[in-house]
Structure 1
């Protein structure tokens, strides 16, 4: 593979996953560790990645990927997660559906349900769910973002008026100590309100969130009742899940 193509591929992978080790890049691109190290040094000099000992990360932990890109990342994995979450949601339940492409995948898989009462700050999820005329859908008020998310003080106050059976929550990053992290302070406040207003919080996330880096602290993994993901989490996170009695579902 030509150097220019390798650089493009490395940049795309790091942007998608948040962090990749040198060993992972060697395996994926089938080149020597020395070649990868040279590539990473050059990319870091051009501010296309951030160089770390043993790997590379996105150039900033304060910005999320563009929504149009995120919705295509690991789409088949998100669909599997959506199918498994749908299995534990009884007909007639009440639930929140959060911002994000994985909660939207859950919304799609709920369309065969009946008589769900849904509150959401996700315009895209509401558009999906309105196909089922047995659903009672309530939109949160607030400021509308370009990705279809609704956030702000009005959103937090609105969510606080409810007490629903389930909260379907997305997240940008899960740190090795179990910290739940995101990129947007205002979005984190809305997610906090969803956790506090849900009898059961269901965290839905693909495996890439175990290696991404975000900067705004939401809370701890131990605060959720369920984690649905597509691969076994890193050992430290797995140990925390076990000690916290979080119900882990691996969706394959």
Structure 2
């Protein structure tokens, strides 16, 4: 299916195509270069130029093989997350901090749970941290013994996440003792999922570089399905949560062999 006629003709053809492309990304959160070429009957080079133009205007984030919205997280929903289940997240964060030894090299994900983890880690010493969350980095920067690295790129205003096309490549330059991640949901199939393609790409890169993988979630995430699959419970070593899920997910947790801390 092509939307070339919808995108407009004549001298305004490019602008109309880019406007349609922006609306598509806003509605669907992500589009691949291949999808752009099919939708608009254009070359790969033209598709990439359109994405680069929208990125330069600050309207989208350019990723490997496509583009995503600058803000994939609803601001109201994120503010609610910071107040809802705060006690549970603090308990989860305290357990995670106990699993992190002084001097460890760690990756920390973005999100409200990982912000709570950052607060709990302030009692540690000499941590070497890579994160793409400015909020996490700001919290940890108060500890003068920590070494903190963040990638460059566009800052997502809702949660302080930093993204550009090569953020995942930046993360691949490091080796971690531990990767601490959180997700939007763990569905009843035991799949761990998130709502943002860019986050999944960065976290996947970090997991591949980590000796041990810690998944930190409060129990509200159990049974919840999100847009993008990151992997399964078998892909992490440790699950930290405030309480175990109900069946059928409980069976998936036990079958995965993941080490559970509550």
What is the CA deviation profile of residues 199-227 of structure 1, one whole-angstrom value per residue up to 9, with x for unaligned ones? 11100111111133312111111100011
Distance 1:86 1:171 in 2: 18
What is the CA deviation profile of residues 155-178 of structure 1, one whole-angstrom value per residue up to 9, with x for unaligned ones? 101001111001110100101111
| Structure 1 consecutive aligned stretches of length 4 or more whose deviation exceeds 6 Å | none
Match of 1:244 among 228, 231, 256: 256
**Quick check: 1:176–1:234 contact (8 Å CA) kept in 2?**
no
Distance 1:239 1:188 in 2: 25
Aligned to 2:126: 115
What is the CA deviation profile of residues 51-73 of structure 1, one whole-angstrom value per residue up to 9, with x for unaligned ones? xxxxxxxxxxx865632222112
Q: How many residues of Structure 1 are paired with residues of Structure 2 in the alignment?
A: 189
RMSD: 1.5
The CA deviation at 1:248 is: 0.6
Aligned to 1:145: 156
Instruction: Kindly indicate whether structure 1 or structure 2 has the higher relative contact order, using CA contacts under 8 Å at least 6 residues apart.
Output: 1
Listed as ranges, the gaps of 5+ residues in structure 2 are 1-71
The answer to whether 1:91 aligns with 2:63 is no
Distance 1:152 1:218 in 2: 19
**Quick check: 2:223–2:249 contact (8 Å CA) kept in 1?**
no
Distance 1:158 1:63 in 2: 23
The answer to whether 1:221 aligns with 2:233 is yes
The CA deviation at 1:78 is: 0.5
TM-score in terms of structure 2 length: 0.69
